[in-house]
Amino acid sequence: MVLISGTGAALFSWINTELASVSRLQQSNARAQTLANVLELMHTVNPMLTPEGAFSFTAFRLTWNAKVVTPIQDGVSYPQGIGLYQLALYDTMVRVNNPDGTLWFDFTLRQVGYKKVRDNKAFLK
């Protein structure tokens, strides 16, 4: 009887450890998948035009706040001259919250912001 109970206790301990490992693995996979989705979405955001914003999804809420890192400067066109756009580098703080509002994870993303400030007609003269 003692042998069976000792073996059973060891087996339950092993199962509990494996279940905890599976849970951590699921959480890590969910975070990695969400991070990939958030990065894909943030590639569509121009921080010069929308320095702050938020998106709500079923599983999480995404918010961002961009701060300019370099001075805003005119782009250069080939072979010489001023381009159609102004450019600057931004550090964007991205926060991903759970549906209940608690922070799940956050990270900083460096992005290029751009804004069209000139028309092609000025260059055709």
**Side-chain-side CA neighbours of residue 102 (13 Å):** 2
CB 22 within 8 A of CB 30: no
Does residue 79 surpass a pLDDT of 80?
Answer: no
Q: Is the pLDDT of residue 15 over 90?
A: no
Instruction: pLDDT band for 95, please (50, 70, 90 cuts).
Output: very high
Given the structure tokens 């914003």, which residue do they identify? 53
Q: Give residue limits of the domains in the chain.
A: 2-122
Distance CA 103, CA 62 (A): 10
What share of the chain has pLDDT > 90, as a percent?
58
